[in-house]
Amino acid sequence: MIYSDKVMEHFSNPRNVGTLPDADGVGQVGNPVCGDMMTFYIKVKDDRLADVKFQTFGCGAAIAVSSMVSEMALGKTLDEAVKISNDSVAEELGGLPKNKMHCSNLGADALHKAIEDYRAKRAAGVRKGEAQVAHPAQKTDQGCPYCDGPIEGIEEYCKKCQVELEECAHCGELTNKNAEECTHCGARIA
């Protein structure tokens, strides 16, 4: 089995190994067939990945993939990071043998799950009113995404077009509380 120099470098000297005890999001994936297990930990600041750590139990390719994914994601916005794909990871590593391509899927999937976990926790805080109370100036300074009218109070209600608004769990932007999809990112609203 031939690995590229870059795969060997990331396997021999993996970057960003470890955990983040106060992680904003955690994503874990595993492949029962090969036994590889990856856990990604992320810290988010200003919608960017300020820190990314991982723990991987598996083959050399799995470790190299985890290291590469962590490097590719660090400093990116959440939306940029979720676009990291198995193909882009394999390409950055200079290719992977066919029987190891599943490792690149695991790395990207673990990162995506950590971002999903962060967004779900953030959305849960909004529903409980924590984020709304903590940042009332941020909400009232934002205009209505439908008519640019002013948003009134913590309730996030537009007096101009009379739409009830809520923060999208996926992108964090205000959208119609009664809509099926977010106006900004198109994600389904629960």
Catalytically active residues are 34, 103
Strands 37-45 and 174-176, how do they pair? unpaired
Q: CB 159: neighbour CB atoms within 10 A?
A: 12
Strand partners, 48: 45, 77
Nearest to 58 by CA among 24, 94, 105, 95: 105
Cα separation, 20 vs 40, in Å, equals: 9
Cα separation, 179 vs 181, in Å, equals: 6
Q: What number of CA atoms fall less than 13 Å from residue 61's CA on the CB side? A: 23
